Amino acid sequence: MALYEKTAAELSAMLAKKEVSAVELAQDVFARTKAVEDKVQGYVTLTEESALAQAAEIDKRRAAGEELPALAGIPVAIKDNICTKGTLTTCASKMLYNFKPPYNATVMEKLAAQGVVVTGKANMDEFAMGSSCENSAAHPTHNPHDVNRVPGGSSGGSAAVVAAGEVPLSLGSDTGGSIRQPAAFCGVTGLKPTYGAVSRYGLIAFASSLDQIGPFGRSIEDVAMLLDAITGHDPMHDSTSVKTPFEGTVRAGLNADIKGMKIGLPKEYFGAGISDAVRESVLAAAETYKNLGAEVFEISLPLVEYALPVYYILSSAEASSNLARFDGVKYGYRTPNAGDDVIALYTKSRSEGFGAEVQRRIMLGTYVLSSGYYDAYYKKARAAQRKIREEFANAFDKCDVILTPVAPTTAYGIGAKTTNPLEMYAGDICTVSVNIAGLPGLVQPCGFDGDKMPIGMQLIGPRFGEQTLLNAGLAFEQASGLRNIIAAL
């Protein structure tokens, strides 16, 4: 087995036993990347030089006999909306084409303390708005399992580079499904943590009340390792972050014995609109759970019907406010065509710097917040959000976790939905409620469709139910053997 086919946990053990050095591993990672990146296009920026320097530093410390954390020397790719000090952070937007943050996101400080090797910045939909990784000002990313298809979005680059064997771990962000849907499309494991479990400081904001950073990996254990590294209260920088009950202990707490676990199947998630292949595969996973001794039963979450409008109203409202800071003055792109008119400077910088989808969200958000429509749209969406939260809370009185599909279909062809934004939005139906309710959601592979494209399943937990989720995920992973799926390319 080549190094690039190993999971992060396997590589961590090899590094600790000095069977491989961090520099050798980093060299292997960049060799694989050079071999396949032409086809995948998962990165916006590669940081080979600094990665090799970080790896050399780890080797030096290990040689000196230092006891190192589990992730020391492990290569990790970072979504391009997470601020990396001195390294381009573009959000895949012309607006930030030249932005080198003067500071690190909290997660980057945490990863640095672990000694990870940062391989580069992964491609995404511009400002994390999209479901296919086609809305990137850089280039679209391709699904490693079929390069004519999308990898999903918005963290499509982060998912694709893991699936392509370019890197064992990556970070993404999830506002309405952007970790979970690309994980499903690319056949990798991804977790959207509970809102507040991971500091958002240095994550370039899309919708602050919904955004969360989370890990991608090739196995449950890998995802647990990276989650352990990034969770934590950040009182200095993110007042919405909290101390979780599982800080740093999820990997050690993994336990595949799920006998008696109560798993709810919400009937609304399996109805019309979900493809047969996806439905059958997720229902087969439910059978596996029954065989493992879980109690699996149908539940009802009827408010899912309102999830998409609620999500697109709230997220666009917050986006319109968050993105007001990009004005051509403070940072990023500035139009050369404004003469000495300051209003033209603002409007032209924004019209030229933002792509079509970002402009659409800003207009939608400004509209739902405008005085004549605030009550009719924004306020109503907030009220519906409370109802959706209650509905999930009630469901978790009856069950430990909820099992659903991730997306209505497997990965579709590049260009298939780019002309119809509403069709693109409809693909988010199974994921957005999790953000609206602030819950954790785990996605892992559960099968393949007739074209051999990966199918993912989603496990939703109560707030701070990450350990239970990952235990349930591990039980399925062991029973199915579906882990560490790397595209042949």
Rg (the chain; Cα; Å): 21
Interface with ligand GLN (CB under 6 A): 128-131, 154, 174-178, 206, 315, 428
The residue from 154, 155, 199, 349 that is catalytic is 154
Compare residues 129 and 345 and give the one whose CB is closer to ligand GLN.
Answer: 129
Contacts (Cβ under 8 Å, ≥6 apart) of 472: 258, 261, 263, 289, 294, 400, 401, 442, 459
By beta-carbon distance, which residue lies closest to ligand GLN?
Answer: 178
Compare residues 1 and 422 and give the one whose CB is closer to ligand GLN.
Answer: 422
Q: Which residue has the tokens 């879980």?
A: 294
Using an 8 Å Cβ cutoff, are 63 and 157 in contact? no
Q: Is 219 assigned a catalytic role? A: no
Sequential DSSP letters for 240-296: T----TTTTTTTTT-----TT-EEEEEGGGGSTTS-HHHHHHHHHHHHHHHHTT-EE
- In the bound complex, what is the minimum distance in angstroms from residue 356's beta carbon to ligand GLN? 13
Compare residues 211 and 400 and give the one whose CB is closer to ligand GLN.
Answer: 211
How far apart are alpha carbons 230 and 271 in whole angstroms?
36
Contacts (Cβ under 8 Å, ≥6 apart) of 249: 228, 467
Contacts (Cβ under 8 Å, ≥6 apart) of 276: none
- In the bound complex, what is the minimum distance in angstroms from residue 128's beta carbon to ligand GLN? 4
What residue type is assigned to position 194 of the chain? T
- In the bound complex, what is the minimum distance in angstroms from residue 135's beta carbon to ligand GLN? 8
The enclosing H or E element of 76 equals strand 75-79
* Widest Cα–Cα separation across the chain: 71
The residue from 131, 132, 173, 178 that is catalytic is 178
Map residue 191 onto helix, strand or coil: strand
Dihedral pair phi/psi, residue 470, rounded to 5°: -70, -30
Cis peptide before 154 (omega within 30 of 0): yes
Interaxial angle between packed helices 466-480 and 220-230, expressed in degrees from 0 to 180 and rounded to the nearest 10:
160
- In the bound complex, what is the minimum distance in angstroms from residue 133's beta carbon to ligand GLN? 10
Compare residues 315 and 444 and give the one whose CB is closer to ligand GLN.
Answer: 315
Q: Is 6 assigned a catalytic role? A: no
- In the bound complex, what is the minimum distance in angstroms from residue 127's beta carbon to ligand GLN? 8
Dihedral pair phi/psi, residue 110, rounded to 5°: -65, -40
Question: 191 has which bridge partners?
Answer: 442
- In the bound complex, what is the minimum distance in angstroms from residue 384's beta carbon to ligand GLN? 17
How far apart are alpha carbons 308 and 427 in whole angstroms?
10
- In the bound complex, what is the minimum distance in angstroms from residue 1's beta carbon to ligand GLN? 33
How far apart are alpha carbons 369 and 279 in whole angstroms?
37
Q: Is 178 assigned a catalytic role? A: yes
Compare residues 152 and 332 and give the one whose CB is closer to ligand GLN.
Answer: 152
Compare residues 253 and 421 and give the one whose CB is closer to ligand GLN.
Answer: 421
Compare residues 7 and 93 and give the one whose CB is closer to ligand GLN.
Answer: 93
- In the bound complex, what is the minimum distance in angstroms from residue 420's beta carbon to ligand GLN? 14
Sequential DSSP letters for 317-343: HHHHHHGGG-SSSSSS---S--TT-HH
Compare residues 69 and 421 and give the one whose CB is closer to ligand GLN.
Answer: 421
CA 240-241-242 angle, 5° bins:
115
CA distances to 22, 317, 440 from 162, in Å: 18, 32, 21
Compare residues 79 and 110 and give the one whose CB is closer to ligand GLN.
Answer: 79
Number of Cβ atoms within 10 Å of the Cβ of 264 = 22
How far apart are alpha carbons 249 and 256 in whole angstroms?
15
- In the bound complex, what is the minimum distance in angstroms from residue 89's beta carbon to ligand GLN? 16
The residue from 12, 21, 79, 192 that is catalytic is 79
Catalytic residues, by residue number, are 79, 154, 178
